[in-house]
Amino acid sequence: MDSHLIRLENVTKRFANVLANDNISMEISEGEIHALLGENGAGKTTLMNILSGRYQPDQGKIFLKGKELRLKSPKDALQNGIGMVHQHFMLIENLTVAENIILGMENQPLFFNKRKIEENIEKISSQYKLKVNPESKIWELSVGEQQKVEILKILYRKAKILIMDEPTAVLTPPEIEELFNTLKFLVRKGHTVIFITHKLEEVLEIANQITILRRGRVIVKTSPEHISSKRELARMMVGREVVLSITKKSIIPGPPIISVNRLSGLGKRGEVAFREISFDVRKGEIFTITGVSGNGQTELVETLVGLRKPLNGTIHFHKLPKKENQRDVLWGYIPEDRVKMGSAQGLSIMENLILTNYSLFTKNLFLMKGKIKKNAYELINHYNIFAESLKMPARQLSGGNLQKLILARELSRNPLLLIAHQPTHGLDIGATEEIWEELIAFREKGAVLLISGDLKEVLTLSDRIAVIFRGRIMDIFSGYDEEKIGEIGLLMAGVHKR
């Protein structure tokens, strides 16, 4: 008899020319947190989409308690007690928590008892320490609370196996700690958790077992007690030495490239999202705006790049003397959402690499295909973008490779200022290291306005740090100072030390 709760046997999945899962076999035991670790594009999410019924394997088998499963949809998976919380939440903002939780459930009466459903949700949320108001609209909730709703959707359907896809990617440190306590509590209550991640410290903190994927294959099956260090785990995952140790040259900042003075702007619901923002970014520096997501950063950046009109205040780009400023454009932009805003998912890699600079690749209104192809080869090689073909659509790239494509495109425009909004959000340690190195290298040629909530990234890269809370700059720090770390954390929560 099979002693494992779940067993995957020789699972293979291919998308066109991309082999996402290559003959994968793995086992998951009942009552454990099993970490599925790997770089972006390693095949983690694809494999779990198969286990949750969203995809069907090209070959291979799935067994639950020794019985073979044939999952044709997420509904089939839920009926067998398997549910998945996706990295990008599948919630409808204008509906309430209760409405989102019961949405899509079968056998619901035409006129259901709203109060009874809310009471059931309150009972489950209290039982599993996932307190959330069932009457609240989704748009009123923090990201952490929205994640609780996604977990409650699965528990409400009586699933015992929870698949969490990069669950900490959008959470603050306190929310991550709260999530980990919740997952440990769920396991004590008899649930099993599969935890998809690329964050090494999280694996060592929370996992009972670890399976590492690389390029669609199982590389290592182990447990935290057999790992000597985070460095060893990184080497297993990436296949090379990764230390995330960045050396910055000392640079005397030049004149300002952009000056922002008393800038205010509105959010998508007409509320004031940020107010009275003032700063400048000087040549030769990385100026960082940091804070917990949702404190006006997105609206501020979209205003700086012209996607929103300011309520008041000024934005001034300084043109440096021609001998110093031999740049093609004033600024390049890496948006927060690489899928919806940073790329055209249906277009090829070649086409995506010229999207913001296409005029250089046209002649008499016709695209110069030879020049476009040459440009793509050069950028792919320089920025180490892994792709099966230049003609493959952008949607087939992993998150890390898509982000490197956007970075390559924007830097190839030769801007004076690079505006980078969460440039390593959701990326593995290898891709993060490569992007950090490119940002440091660009700093010597121009300037970077970095918007990031990752405190490690902020402290590693920044020359000056501005902390934002509820749309206001709380303070600006010059350089890295160990004594300021605690104060920065407090300011991100809106607390002044003094």
Q: Which of 487, 491, 343, 342 is nearest to 420 (CA)?
A: 342
Contact 200, 237 (CB under 8 A): yes
CA distance 297 to 496: 20
Residue 271 backbone phi and psi in degrees, to 5: -80, 160
Strands 286-290 and 464-469: parallel
Q: Is the pLDDT confidence value at 244 over 60?
A: no
Under a CB-based contact definition with an 8 Å cutoff, are residues 189 and 128 in contact? yes
Cα 117 from Cα 103, distance rounded (Å)? 12
Angstrom distance (rounded) from CA 74 to CA 262: 50
pLDDT at 78 over 80: yes
Q: What pairing do the DSSP bridges indicate for beta strands 161-165 and 82-85?
A: parallel
Q: E strands of 302-457, at which residues?
A: 312-317, 329-334, 362-363, 366-367, 415-421, 447-452
How many helices and strands in the chain, by DSSP H and E? 15, 21
Cite the DSSP H helix spans in 365-471: 369-382, 399-412, 429-443, 455-461
Domain boundaries, the chain: 6-238, 256-492
Q: Does 6-238 match 256-492 in CATH topology?
A: yes
Which residues touch 341 (CB under 8 Å, ≥6 apart)? Answer: 335
Q: How far apart are CA 466 and CA 463, in angstroms?
A: 10
Grade residue 367 by pLDDT with cuts at 50, 70 and 90: confident
Q: Return the bridge partners of 15, or none.
A: 18
> What is the per-residue pLDDT for 107?
65
The answer to whether the CB of 197 falls within 8 A of the CB of 166 is yes
Lowest mean pLDDT segment, chosen from 47-51, 113-117, 244-248, 343-347: 244-248
pLDDT at 270 over 70: yes
- CB count within 10 Å of CB 23 equals 14
What crossing angle do the helices spanning 399-412 and 369-382 adopt, rounded to 10°?
120
pLDDT at 468: 92
Comparing C-alpha atoms, which of 152, 170, 171, 164 is closest to residue 193? 164
The 10s digit of each residue's pLDDT in 297-346 is: 999 999 999 999 999 999 998 876 654 555 568 899 999 888 888 999 99
| pLDDT (mean) for 93-120 | 80
CB 84 within 8 A of CB 165: yes
Residue 380 has pLDDT above 60, yes or no: yes
Element (H, E) at 105: none
Question: Which has more confidence, 102 or 104?
Answer: 102
| CA triple 39-43-49, angle to 5 deg | 130
Q: What is the pLDDT of residue 221?
A: 92
Q: Which CATH class is domain 256-492?
A: alpha beta
Pairwise CA distance, residues 437 & 460, whole Å? 11
Topology at the third CATH level for domain 6-238: Rossmann fold (3.40.50)
Cα distance between residue 363 and residue 437, in whole Å? 35
What residues contact 324, with CB distance under 8 A and at least 6 apart?
none
* Residue 2: per-residue pLDDT: 63
pLDDT average, residue stretch 153-159: 90
**Residue 206 is encoded by which pair of tokens?**
């929370």
Q: What is the pTM of this model?
A: 0.72
Could you give the CA distance from residue 354 to residue 352 in angstroms, rounded to a whole number? 5
Contacts of 489 (CB under 8 A, 6+ apart): 455
Among residues 311, 295, 294, the alpha carbon closest in space to that of 303 is found at 311
pLDDT per residue over 423-476, tens digit each?
988 777 778 888 999 999 999 889 999 999 887 888 889 999 999 988 999 988
With beta carbons less than 8 A apart as the criterion, state whether 448 and 427 touch.
no
- Residue 325 CA to residue 445 CA, distance in Å, equals 10
d(CA 189, CA 208) in angstroms, rounded, equals: 16
pLDDT value, residue 57: 94
Arithmetic mean of pLDDT over the chain: 86
